[in-house]
Structure 1
Amino acid sequence: MSKELSYTIEEVSQLLKVSKLTIYDLVKKGEVPVFRVGRQMRIEARDLDHYIKNQKTAIAPVPVVELHLPQSKDSLNIVISGQDLVLDILGKHIEKKSTFKTLRSYTGSLNSLISMYNGVCDIVSLHMFDGDTGDYNLPYVKKILVGYPYILLNLLSRKAGFYVQKGNPLRINSWTDLNQEHVKIINREKGSGARILLDEHLRINNIPSKNINGYEHEETSHLSVASAVSSGQADVGVGIEKAAKIVGIDFVPLITERYDLIILKKPENEKLINTVNDILSSQQFQSEINSLGDYDISQTGSIIYETF
């Protein structure tokens, strides 16, 4: 087999100086072909070159032949956004039950919801806490998806809280414990559910973010935050329980967060909504999620909110 240079989605976004969601949108539309290695999508260098050349000649007075691979009329790429491994399982079930081909974007809740508003994502996972109502997700959805009909479905519930070093030597047990100069935090990126959870509780407790040691130090996943705490780069981080168990550090549970899925209700999404509904309600899917541990499936598949 000949050696062909290829790039990850992140590498292509850096090369073209655009967001990863822009690249996912190009892939979804079939403008840039991809292949998969396990969970990771890659783009061949020659296909990227073809796309760039096509854009360069797009304003030429002669017709331009599109050089991307044709997409089957019977299949459609959809983008599922979010980081939890359950979304990968959902994607596999969708592909088994339908002709949809799933692409994965590992972008945070708020940025993904905005991308859905802009027509990029098809299924967005959300875990955004609202400090004024104590509710998850719906207050944000109502403000951002103005003018769009949608359905909000529960995927699961899970514990969120603090990652701390073994034995919790600094006795970090509440949000106000972060407001100490000797406690160093590692944060999540703007737009992520964990970042919103932290910011909302700082607001509720009248703690300025400038008082939080390490607030500007960001990582982009639960695992990377947990790993930073494990290695001693920080004393505490905010995230979900499962990552703490994977890394082998202690976890201080603070809240049970509702992890939901949102899909726009438009004619071309009717089949997708029905497929996802069937999967979430199936015993097979729920048993598979339950076997992973640390997830509550008591509301899985229930409709949290729906517009008509």
Structure 2
Amino acid sequence: MLRITIEPVWRFHKEESPQSIVVMLGVLSEIGKTGKITSAANDAHLSYRHVWNLIEQWSDFFGVPLVETRRGKGSRLTAFGEKLVWAGERMQARLGPQLENLAQELATEIKPFLQQRPSVIRVHASHGFAVAKLRELLDREPGIGVDLRYVSSQYSLASLAQGACDLSGLHLPRGELRAQGILACREWLDPRHDRVISFVTREMGLMVKRGNPLDIRALPDLADGKARFVNRDHDSGTRLLFDQLLASHGLDETRINGAQQIEFTHAAVAAYVASGMADACFGVEAAARQFGLDFIRVLTEDYFFVCRQSFLDTEPMRRVIELMKGREFHEAIAALPGYQPAETGSVHTVREFLDRVDTGA
């Protein structure tokens, strides 16, 4: 299946001049990670001389250096160069899933005009590291295309009920909030025709700056107003879970400094904290580790997929189940911080599923 990638271009302009310049933030990011311009050049498939000329052009345009070279010690980003890289990482974390959705919409629209038409599985699921890994492995499978749209659990179940997708993502917290999660999804599940597939577990909690300078240990520590918080968007399942946690602790959101500041993915809130614009956020452990943050576990979530029995019996879906059960996928999930396979690929009726989750099994 045709795969489309939409990538932003960072073009800087000066008001007093028609001159503009495109900065390749990936080059700067690679220098920041490795301290080597040669590594950045290889990563960008450019010559060392060309990359060095670009860096000089960027520095001349801004009037400040972006990279410092140290004899015998390689290169490093200046404070300004680091700020540009952080801006790029925040942008990618914030807009990445939305750009993927737009690219997928375009691919779906032009597919009827193409000669090769593989079996396409339409997946609606909340954005997460395990879902992205599943899609990555499915993209390698010949004869199967994946139409993945990132939406909340509630919207994904509604999409399945309305026939707008084939596979719907669903995540439920363990513990005292389990019953609320079940109540929200029960109305969309059809016991006659739906089947539930076990997927993974993931750890949810607070992400704070490395070393936890504000000594944040639990949700009530956010309510004194000292920590600057960044929240998830209101339509996300993680925001719903966070609001339920606040209610269970008797905490008033208005007492949290920055609770109305929102970002749209786990990675986006983590990047916001890592860049120094906030002190804490709530999300998955994998996002915290990705951006070098400390993580304070609050609860574990179970992630499932739901599909129709009729679709479960199709050849493409049988291959998906095989991939979920395979060693490569299990190893990939085990490598994600805070994620674990959990009877991955096991299929349950809705009644079996509700009996299991009601008891916390």
The normalised TM-score by structure 1 is: 0.70
| Structure 1 residues 1-308: aligned runs within 5 Å | 8=6, 30=108, 32-33=109-110, 69-70=113-114, 72=116, 75-97=119-141, 99-129=143-173, 133-134=177-178, 138-145=182-189, 149-267=193-311, 270-303=314-347, 305-306=349-350
1:9 and 1:247 map into 2 onto residues whose CA distance is 21
Equivalent AA in structure 1 for residue 226 of structure 2: H
Q: Is the 8 Å Cα contact of residues 195 and 307 (structure 2) preserved in structure 1?
A: yes
Residue 26 of structure 2 corresponds to none
The residue aligned with 1:3 is: none
Q: Return the alpha-carbon distance in structure 2 between the equivalents of residues 194 and 180 of structure 1.
A: 22
User: Which deviates the most, 73-82 or 271-280?
Assistant: 73-82
Change (3 A) 1:182 1:191: same
| CA deviation after TM superposition for structure 1 residue 274, in Å | 2.4
The change in CA–CA distance for 1:233 and 1:95 in structure 2 (over 3 A counts) is closer
Residues 194, 306 of structure 2: 8 Å contact kept: yes
Find the counterpart in structure 2 of residue 38 from structure 1: none
- Cα offset, 1:268, TM superposition: 7.9
Counterpart residue identity of residue 206, structure 2: F
Shift in Å, 1:21:
11
Q: Where does structure 2 lack aligned partners over 5 or more consecutive residues? A: 9-97, 353-361
Superposed CA RMSD: 3.5
Separation in 2 of the partners of 1:160 and 1:115?
25
Asked if structure 2 preserves the Cα contact closer than 8 Å seen for 1:127 and 1:136, the reply is no
Q: Percent identity?
A: 25
Q: Distance in 2 between matches of 1:75 and 1:282?
A: 21
Q: Which sections of structure 1, spanning at least 5 residues, go unmatched? A: 1-5, 11-18, 35-67
Deviations 1:77-133 (A, max 9, x none): 523533223323323444555633012223333333333333333223232438755
Tell me, in whole angstroms, the C-alpha distance in 2 between the residues paired with 1:292 and 1:221.
Answer: 17
Q: Which whole-Å CA distance do the structure 1 matches of 2:180 and 2:331 have between them?
A: 25
Q: In structure 2, what is the equivalent of residue 46 of structure 1?
A: none
Match of 2:73 in 1: none
Report how far residue 155 of structure 1 moved: 1.5
Does the aligned pair in 2 maintain the 1:116–1:122 contact within 8 Å?
yes
- Report how far residue 247 of structure 1 moved: 0.7
TM score, norm. by length of structure 2: 0.61
Cα separation, 2, equivalents of 1:96 and 1:80: 19
Letter in 2 for 1:198: F
Partners of 2:105 and 2:115 lie apart in 1 by 13
Compare CA radii of gyration and give the structure with the larger one. 2
Of residues 73-82 and 158-167 in structure 1, the stretch that sits farther from structure 2 once superposed is 73-82
What is the distance in 2 between the residues matched to 1:220 and 1:71? 36
Structure 1 residues 81 and 152, CA gap change in structure 2 (3 angstroms): same
1:285 Cα deviation from its structure 2 partner: 2.1
Cα distance, 1:152 vs. partner?
1.9
**Structure 1 138/208 Cα, relative in aligned 2: closer, same or farther at 3 Å?**
same
**Quick check: 1:149–1:307 contact (8 Å CA) kept in 2?**
no
Residue matched to 1:40: none
Report the secondary structure of 1:196's partner residue.
helix
Identify if the C-alpha distance between structure 1 residues 299 and 146 changes in structure 2 by more than 3 Å, giving closer, same or farther: closer
1:222 Cα deviation (Å)?
A: 0.9
Structure whose residues are more often helix by fraction: 2
